[in-house]
Structure formats: C-alpha cells, structure tokens
Amino acid sequence: MTTPVEEKPTALQPGLLQCLPRPPRRVAVLRASRIGDFICTTPALRALRAALPDSKIAVITLPALGDIVERLPYIDQYVEFPGLPGIAEQLFEPADAISFFQRIQSEDLDLAIQMQGSGAYSNSYMLMMGGRATAGFIRRGDGPGLLDAALPLPNSGHETDRMLALVQFLGAARQGREPDFRLTAADRAEAEELLAGAARPLIGLHPASRDSRRGWPVERFAATGRQLQERAGGTLIVFAEGEHASQTSAVVEAAGGRAINLAGRLSLPVLGAVIRTLDVLVTNDSGPAHIAYTLATPTVTIVGKGDSERYGPVVDGPFRLLRDRSPSEQCSHCGPGCLCLTKIRVADAVEAAVRVMRRREEAGNGATGLEVQARSVSLSSSPLRLRARKPEGRGQVVPGVRKICVLRANGIGDMVFALPALAALRKAYPRAEIVLIGQPWHAELLPGRGIVDRVVVTPPYPGVRTDSQGFASEEEVANFFRSMADEEFDLTIQMHGGGAHSNPFVSRLGARLTVGLRAAGAPPLDWTIPYLYYQDEYRRYLELVGLVGAAPVSVAPRIPVLASDLAEAGQFAPSSEPFAVLHPGATDPRRRWPAERFAVLGDWLAERGLRVLVTGGL
C-alpha cells in the first residue's frame, strides 16, 4: 500500500532503487507517446535495465510502437496502452481502461514509473496500477502526492536528458545517450524488396506532419526532390502514414521524376529499414527524423521555429536542421507563436542535402556506395556529379597484407569474445603476421598458442588501458606510436569498444587501412560498422572482420592448452583426486558474489571429499 507523502518526507530525495527493501522483480514504465518521444526514452530504459538486471521490465505504450518495444533487448514485455483521459495519444474507452487496470494489477508490480510527462493526469493512473512503489515526474511547484519518488519535470534540455534525469534520480547510472531503434533481417529484407530496382541515390521525402504548422509546403518538397534528381539522378522515395497519402501523391506528381510512393505501405520497423537504406532524407520535424538520427541516415529536417534543443539529434552525425531564426510574427494562420516555415527556401534544403550526403562519404561510413565528387557546391553551377563506388576490398580479403595489428587491450573475458574473429582472420590471412596490442597479461598468456603471432603491450592510455600508477607520460606515448609507425602495418583492426578513444588511438598507428567499431559520435576510421551496445559480442567481432573478407571458422572460442600448462596445473590439481575450482574475483564489484558465500560453498565441497582450489587474478 502506498504511504501518504506526509509520512514519506524523502519522496523528493534521490536513490529510491537503493532504498527499496529488495530489488524489484516486476517493473512497469508508462511512456505512451509517439515514436520520436519513445526513441528519446530508450537511453533511460537502457540505464534502468543496467541498474535492475534481474527485474522483469514492461513498457506501457501505444499499439503502433509494440513491434519496436519488443525488439529492444533490455525490455521484457510490451503492454498496450488502452487510452485514458488527459493523455491524448489514444482514444479513451472505459471498458478497455477497466480491463487494463485489472490486468496490470494482477501483475503484482514492485515498481511503477511514470515517464509520460508532468504527471498532472498520469500519476493518478500509475498509482491505480497497485505497485508497491511508484515514481515519476511532477509539475514544478507541486508536491509528490502519493508517489514514493518524485522529480520535477525539467523545463529545458533535450528530451533524452529529461528522461535520463528521472532514472538517474531513482539511482540508475547512465549507459550512454545514444538512442536505439532495432531492425531485424526480415525488416531489411522487406525494405530491399520494396526498393528493388530503384536507381541510386535514394532520396527520401517525408512531407507529412501531425501539426499542420510544422509542415513545410508540399510543393517545396516536390521542388527539392526534383532539383536533387536533376543534379544526382536517382529515385525519390516518398512516404507518410496512410492518412497523409494525398500529400505524398501530390509530391510524386509534382516532382515528375522517378519515384516510389510508399504511403500507408510500411510498418514502423520496415519504415526504419527503408530510412536506413536512403542516401538522404528530407523531412518535417517528426518521427521519421528521429529514426533517421538513430540510424545515422543523412537527414535534412525542416524545423522552422520548432524546439530543436529538445528534439534535435542527440549525437553528432550527417544531419542538418533548417531553422527560421527570424523574430516570431503573428499571422492569420497560426496566431501567436507562429511556426510558419515559408521562409525556408528550396535552395536551402537542396544545399543541405548535398552537404549531409558528402559528410557521410567523408566519414567513410556510407552504406550507399555513393561518393560526392564536388568538394564545394554552387547551386547555380553544372549538375553535381555522383558516381557509384564500392570501396575496393570491402567485404573481400585485402590484397598485399603482410602485417595485421589488432587492438584489444581489456580483460580475459573480452579476449575470449574476440577469439572466433581472430581465428577467422588467421584463416583469411594465413601468411600475415598478426600483432595484438594488449595488456601485460596478454603477453604472458597468448604467445605460442597460434592465436596471434606477437603481443605488444600498450602504455597506459586514456580510454584504452588504465593503470594504478596513472597514465603514461607524453614522451612514452610518443615513443610508442613512433615504434608502431615503424612496424608499417598494412591493416589495423579496432576491437576495443565504440571508438571514442580507441579510434584516434588506432589512427595514430600509421596503418595503410584502418577498420573498426564506431559508436554514434565517435571519430571515423577507413571502414567501420556501427557499435551497438546490446549486441552479441561474438557476432560483433565476426561482423567486423567480415569487412576485410574474414569468414567465420567457428563461433566457439578456443584457447589451446600447452603441455607446460598441464604440467604447472598438475602441481596444484593432481589428476588422481577430484577437485573443484572457485573463482571469487571480478573486476566489476557488482558482479561479485559475496566472498562468505564462496567460503560456505567451499566448505560444502570439501566435506564431500573434493579438493578445493581458489583462484584469483584475471
């Protein structure tokens, strides 16, 4: 039963998750908003999962978002929002609402979290779910009411940070700000079928907007598409929800060039797969823009006087927001707070589209194989020249490779995850020397096992290797990179995280070709694949080495055991008697089972005649 606020003076204090009598088993989160708002919430949901690894987390949201929620690996259950008074996103049906509350109360929730907004209506609904604890936003100046934890809704900042503020207030640490939108192979296959035969570049146009004041005129979308086709060729891909089909038809008719009208034909996941395939998207400030930001599709967003601080891209990327920075004027169409977009010209959108396409190509992260030849653009000059380009060697064995460098300077578990990828490299480049840049323990363990040929220990370096004595001096670091440049590596592969620190490190090694992982906002290498936080580690690195033609040998990691290993082990574990090994260590204290429990287990095993060996270290 929820305790009244008079008896709960700590409701406005942070740290609810740490104050609960036990970790919550069942958690429900309300976020019944449109796709853009939901995408901005995914970093908060990811942080909540990291803080509650054993909880069953359900998200209550709109039916249109069910497929998206179910693809997120950190969410266990999607619950359809029934529509409730004061929450305008879904029609209210009393019978559906009663059924919803009966069903959600039967879940026996330990914690209910309101991420809907100020809580003026939604906090009451959260309390009706019957959770043992309830948390959420409140309006500034309001008390917490019956909530167990209440955070005044921030008035400013990006929507992503506003949602993160709540879970941080509850006691969950951030797990990055990058938004998430997952696609399956089936989504991509359906998109490919819809776009089969379309000539590149694929120029996406999304002329629809739920708020008519945020809609750039349809004829300007058509003119933008027509001018981009005149300069680059390709195909217009025009899409919107079915209710806006008349707008897409008008754009296709007015543009007059090659076009595919996908209005009303796309589920939300397949829409994402289509957007991912585009060479550029020109869109109103709406849901598809957020999908494009998440998938790093070059995007021009017509914002006008919209709130770009709150809903613009979270991370850096090939994006341009076209704003109307003139003073607000009152007009007969909008009234006070005019959002008219008529001051944004077609020429502005065309130039911006050219720039974001060029930026992706310069970053070496284009999925389309298009290269912008013109280094500067004059809108009155001859047509922009684009030529199809498949980067030489991408996906194939790179010719002339004699020496390969791999950066993987972390723990033994991380090394195990990379073993199948290293085996694939060994098979694809049997004559090349493979050099691992790693930690001192790599140099002790790996030589003579056929995994790599040589280990070079990296000096302590920010974001790559930590050391209790601090980081290496500038002189030590300079000498290290100088010696690495003297190695004359043909290929360097970054297997050390999302690349914020490791990609600049790899770039300084002086290799002919650099390949690696790249999180949103990380510096580029020659060839990269996106770093997705929740991805199977074995497959992550197998996909990475696939860029250089290394096909999987096996997905099972293997570390050869040497005769010297067996001889040394025999000193502690004679083969003539049964024994058990206990390893109570873990680098991350959150992953450590209490030592006293290991001790109890060890006593239990010893009582049954087993010799107990306790290990530590790696």
Quickly list DSSP for 64-84.
GGHHHHHH-TT--EEEE---B
pLDDT value for 306: 59
Do 423 and 554 contact (CB within 8 A), yes or no?
Answer: yes
pLDDT value for 379: 26
* CA–CA dist 401, 48 (Å, integer): 45
Residues with Cβ within 8 Å of 375's Cβ and at least 6 positions away in sequence, in order, are none
Residue indicated by tokens 């090659």: 258
Could you write out the DSSP letters of every residue in 364-387?
T--SS-EEE--SS--TTSSPPPEE
Angle, helices 218-232/245-255, rounded to nearest 10 degrees: 40
Question: Cα torsion for 334, 336, 339, 340, to the nearest 10°?
Answer: 50
Do 49 and 29 contact (CB within 8 A), yes or no?
Answer: no
| pLDDT band for position 288 (cuts 50, 70, 90) | very high
* CA–CA dist 204, 200 (Å, integer): 11
| pLDDT band for position 453 (cuts 50, 70, 90) | very high
Q: Does the pLDDT value for residue 325 go beyond 70?
A: no
* CA–CA dist 557, 579 (Å, integer): 25
* CA–CA dist 123, 106 (Å, integer): 19
Question: pLDDT digits over 228-272, tens only?
Answer: 999 989 999 999 887 778 888 888 888 777 899 999 899 999 999
Do 200 and 219 contact (CB within 8 A), yes or no?
Answer: no
Q: How many CB atoms lie within 10 A of CB 281?
A: 28
Nearest to 200 by CA among 178, 222, 232: 232
DSSP 593: P
Q: 22-36, 390-404, 437-451: which range is least confident on average?
A: 390-404
Nearest to 158 by CA among 31, 16, 19, 41: 41
Q: How many CB atoms lie within 10 A of CB 199?
A: 11
* CA–CA dist 94, 82 (Å, integer): 9
pLDDT value for 46: 93
Reply yes or no: is the peptide bond before residue 201 cis, omega within 30 of 0: yes
Token pair in block for residue 483: 């010696």
* CA–CA dist 14, 135 (Å, integer): 11
pLDDT value for 238: 95
Average pLDDT over every residue of 533-540: 83
Q: 120-129, 383-392, 410-419, 449-458: which range is least confident on average?
A: 383-392
Average pLDDT over every residue of 312-339: 67
Q: Does the pLDDT value for residue 378 go beyond 50?
A: no
Q: Which domains does the chain have, with CATH numbers?
A: 5-170 (3.40.50.2000), 185-388 (3.40.50.2000), 403-546 (3.40.50.2000), 563-614 (no CATH)
Q: Does the pLDDT value for residue 335 go beyond 70?
A: no
* CA–CA dist 526, 315 (Å, integer): 20
Token pair in block for residue 189: 């296959």
* CA–CA dist 4, 45 (Å, integer): 28
Q: What is the mean pLDDT of the chain?
A: 85
Spatial strand order in the sheet of 133-138:
77-80, 56-61, 26-30, 111-114, 133-138, 149-152
Strands 56-61 and 77-80: parallel
Environment class of 94 (CB within 10 Å of its CB; exposed 0-12, middle 13-18, buried 19+) = exposed
Q: Does the pLDDT value for residue 329 go beyond 80?
A: no
Q: Does the pLDDT value for residue 383 go beyond 50?
A: no
Average pLDDT over every residue of 143-162: 93
Q: Does the pLDDT value for residue 564 go beyond 50?
A: yes
H/E element holding 147?
Answer: none
H/E element holding 476?
Answer: helix 474-487
Do 207 and 281 contact (CB within 8 A), yes or no?
Answer: no
Token pair in block for residue 571: 């000193």
Query: What percentage of the chain reaches a pLDDT higher than 70?
Result: 88
Per residue, what are the HEC states of 297-340?
CCEEEEEECCCHHHHCCCCCCCEEEEECCCCCCCECCCECCCCC
Residue indicated by tokens 């096909």: 551
Nearest to 123 by CA among 107, 108, 139, 110: 139
> Which residue has better confidence, 73 or 469?
73
Average pLDDT over every residue of 16-35: 94
Alpha-carbon distances of 536 from 69, 100, 175, rounded to whole Å: 19, 35, 17
Buried b (16+ CB within 10 A) or exposed e, 376-401: eeeeeeeebebeeeeeebeeeebeeb
pLDDT value for 331: 52
Do 181 and 62 contact (CB within 8 A), yes or no?
Answer: no
Predicted TM-score of the model (pTM): 0.60
Show the DSSP H helices in 28-183 as ranges.
35-51, 66-71, 94-105, 122-128, 159-170
Residues with Cβ within 8 Å of 481's Cβ and at least 6 positions away in sequence, in order, are 508, 509, 510
Question: pLDDT digits over 181-223, tens only?
Answer: 988 888 888 999 999 989 999 999 999 877 666 788 899 999 9
Residue indicated by tokens 């043992």: 132
Residue indicated by tokens 């999925």: 367
Q: Does the pLDDT value for residue 26 go beyond 60?
A: yes
Q: Does the pLDDT value for residue 140 go beyond 60?
A: yes
pLDDT value for 458: 94
